[in-house]
Amino acid sequence: MSHEIFNPKYIAVEGVIGVGKTTFSKMLSECIDAELLQEEVFENPFLVDFYKNQKRFAFSCQMYFLISRFQQQQQLMVRDLFAERIVADYLFSKDSIFASINLSDRELTLYNKVAPTLSQNIPKPDLAIYLQASTYTLTKRIQKRNYSFEKTIGADYIEVLNKAYDYFFFNYTDTPLLVVKTDEIDFVNNPEHFEDLIEQISKPITGKKYYSPSGHLAGK
């Protein structure tokens, strides 16, 4: 199905672990014939150890993600973003969310000496999409997908992360933002839900807008 009225050339999809951002990013990129830029999650050699011992491996895991994301974004900087469409399953600036909740004070101080330098001149998306869900929904989705390294993730950590994401995007002003409440949306198994969401994205978005399953789109 063609969506010729779709305007943004570079879209970043975000959300807490288990919300479905990678799946949706793939579906969106195929729908609009865009290149998919995926976060290197499974390539992080510290990730499994982090979920087993967050305090010990938080800084190593965090710095690997920061550097790998930076390297990906550098590749975008040398490409013609106006000549092709790109859908990314992460927003570079969200890296600070995990740093703020996982790192010790000393580690965060060191992180904050490095991250701002790397973030300079990083290309900003034309549209950011925040897929939002309750902690209960996120926990159920994580259990359903049954990744072995995620079995040690507790609901308490998801709750803290969820609140941190909400706070981040409540104050987010870098680009136009569409916030999508996904608790009642099944864009994988319900084509109507996916098409309705694509329709919302194809509408002009300035500032911050919210989408709910009822089809209501509210501005802020």
Catalytic residues: 89
Query: What is the b/e burial string over 28-45, where b = at least 16 CB atoms within 10 angstroms of the residue's CB?
Result: bbebbebeebebeeeebe
Separation CA 58–CA 62 (nearest Å):
6
Using CA atoms, how far residue 208 sits from 127, 161, 218, in Å, is 10, 21, 9
CB contact at 8 A, 47 and 149: yes
Tell me how far apart the terminal alpha carbons of the chain are, to the nearest angstrom: 31
Which tokens in the block code for residue 216? Answer: 């209501």
Using DSSP's 3-state secondary structure scheme, residue 157 falls into helix
